[in-house]
């Protein structure tokens, strides 16, 4: 299958990719954000080109992303097993370029209320000792020892809630605004082709295999 996974930051695209992999274990999961991060780690020319945009939370220029995706989609694993594109297309130019490269079976639109996204992202924190991940609103440690203070369920260390520096409300609002502005024409484009499949992403981990198959339009 040739699928695009689409949705706002914090909607759980990574989690839902894992669910799709249960149905289609060989499908290459192609995340443009991951490819940029790998290139940055290896200090490649592409990584260095993308760095300043990524640092500022801005989109890397279309021509850079489009060339990268065109190259990735020409590989043998894609010819054999299709693809699950995650994080591309993000703009109408990227959408048109993808149309020229190939035709997709569906765009899976993960929908989640903005207030829930904010709680998910702004509430997350981890144990400074063992790294166990929690959420102040949705998944706090069991043992509260004061306001915003707990004992870690896993290692027993004392933890005080501290927001990640890149998870401020202001930065998140900006990322959500950027998403909404760019998403509108992309969604309209695929809606006109009748290719949108909407998934409520409140709790996709609870979906059964049958529900996932039906959500992505898998027929075999």
Q: Which residues are catalytic?
A: 13, 90, 124, 164, 175
Taking CB under 6 A as the binding criterion, the range among 86-94, 134-142, 150-158, 195-203 that sits at the site for ligand AMP is: 86-94
Question: Per-residue contact track with ligand AMP, 6 to 45, x per CB under 6 A?
Answer: --------------------------xx--x---------
What kind and span of H or E run contains 29? strand 29-31
Token couple for 25: 């274990």
87 binds ligand AMP (CB under 6 A): yes
CA 70 to chain centre: 20
State which residue, 37 or 136, has the beta carbon closest to ligand AMP.
37
183 binds ligand AMP (CB under 6 A): no
Q: Which of 23, 28, 47, 53 binds ligand AMP (CB under 6 A)?
A: 53
189 binds ligand AMP (CB under 6 A): no
Let me know how long the chain is.
220
Buried b (16+ CB within 10 A) or exposed e, 177-205: ebbeebbeebbebbeeeebbeebebeebe
92 binds ligand AMP (CB under 6 A): no
Q: Which of 12, 27, 30, 90 binds ligand AMP (CB under 6 A)?
A: 90
Angle, alpha carbons 138-144-145 (nearest 5°): 150
Give the nearest distance from C-beta 99 to ligand AMP in angstroms: 15
Pairing relation of β-strands 133-135 and 124-126? antiparallel
Q: How many CB atoms lie within 10 A of CB 1?
A: 18
What kind and span of H or E run contains 41? helix 32-41
124 binds ligand AMP (CB under 6 A): no
Binding site for ligand AMP (CB under 6 A): 32-33, 36, 53-54, 57-60, 65, 87-88, 90, 94
């Amino acid at each position: 299958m040739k699928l695009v996974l689409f949705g706002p930051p914090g909607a759980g695209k990574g989690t839902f990719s894992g669910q799709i992999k249960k149905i289609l274990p060989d499908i290459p999961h192609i995340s443009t954000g991951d490819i940029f991060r790998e290139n940055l780690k290896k200090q490649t020319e592409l990584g260095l080109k993308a760095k300043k945009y990524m640092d500022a939370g801005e989109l890397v220029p279309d021509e850079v992303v489009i060339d990268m995706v065109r190259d990735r989609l020409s590989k043998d694993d894609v010819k054999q097993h299709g693809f699950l594109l995650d994080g591309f297309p993000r703009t109408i130019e990227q959408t048109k370029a993808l149309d020229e490269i190939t035709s997709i079976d569906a765009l899976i639109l993960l929908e989640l209320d903005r207030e829930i996204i904010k709680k998910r992202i702004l509430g997350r924190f981890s144990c400074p000792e063992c790294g166990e991940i929690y959420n102040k609103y949705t998944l706090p440690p069991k043992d509260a020892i004061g306001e915003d203070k707990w004992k870690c369920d896993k290692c027993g260390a004392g933890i005080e809630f501290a927001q990640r520096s890149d998870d401020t409300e202001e930065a998140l609002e900006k990322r959500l605004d950027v998403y909404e502005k760019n998403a509108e024409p992309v969604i309209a484009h695929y809606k006109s082709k009748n290719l949108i499949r909407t998934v409520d992403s409140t709790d996709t981990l609870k979906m059964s295999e049958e529900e996932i198959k039906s959500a992505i339009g898998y027929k075999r």
